[in-house]
Amino acid sequence: MTDPQPCAHFVNADGHALCLVGRNPTLDGCGRGCPAYLPDSERQPCEVWTRVMGYHRPVSAFNRGKRAEYDERRLFLEPH
């Protein structure tokens, strides 16, 4: 793809040094990088990862106690 504009909505510029972008060419519906319609039967749940005790772990792998702690967390944004 030579024009990055169609994919701009896939990138979240939130001030972090690392940005992960995924693109699957089979879902390229219009030929310009626009995502095609994906039926609900083919969708997969998004895996949520978070930092715990210095390591990044998937929330789905938490035990009952750690999951309860995660659910009680309060999220905040640092001012830039």
* Side-chain-facing half-sphere of 11: CA atoms under 13 Å: 12
Domain contains 50 = yes
Q: Which residues, other chains included, contact 21 with Cβ-Cβ below 8 Å and sequence gap of 6+?
A: 7, 10, 11
Q: Is the dihedral of CA 56, 21, 39, 42 positive or negative?
A: negative
| Predicted TM-score (pTM) of this structure | 0.41
Q: 13 and 49 in one domain? A: no
pLDDT at 28 (0 to 100): 47
Q: 35 and 12 in one domain? A: yes
Residue 68 has pLDDT above 90, yes or no: yes
Q: 50 and 23 in one domain? A: no
Q: 51 and 38 in one domain? A: no
Reported as a single tens digit per residue, the pLDDT across 12-36 is: 555 554 455 555 555 444 555 555 6
Q: 65 and 35 in one domain? A: no
Tell which phi-psi region holds residue 23, choosing left (phi > 0), alpha (psi between -120 and 50) or beta.
Answer: beta
Q: 7 and 38 in one domain? A: yes
Higher pLDDT, 66 or 6: 66
Domain interval for residue 30: 1-43
Q: 39 and 2 in one domain? A: yes
Q: 48 and 63 in one domain? A: yes
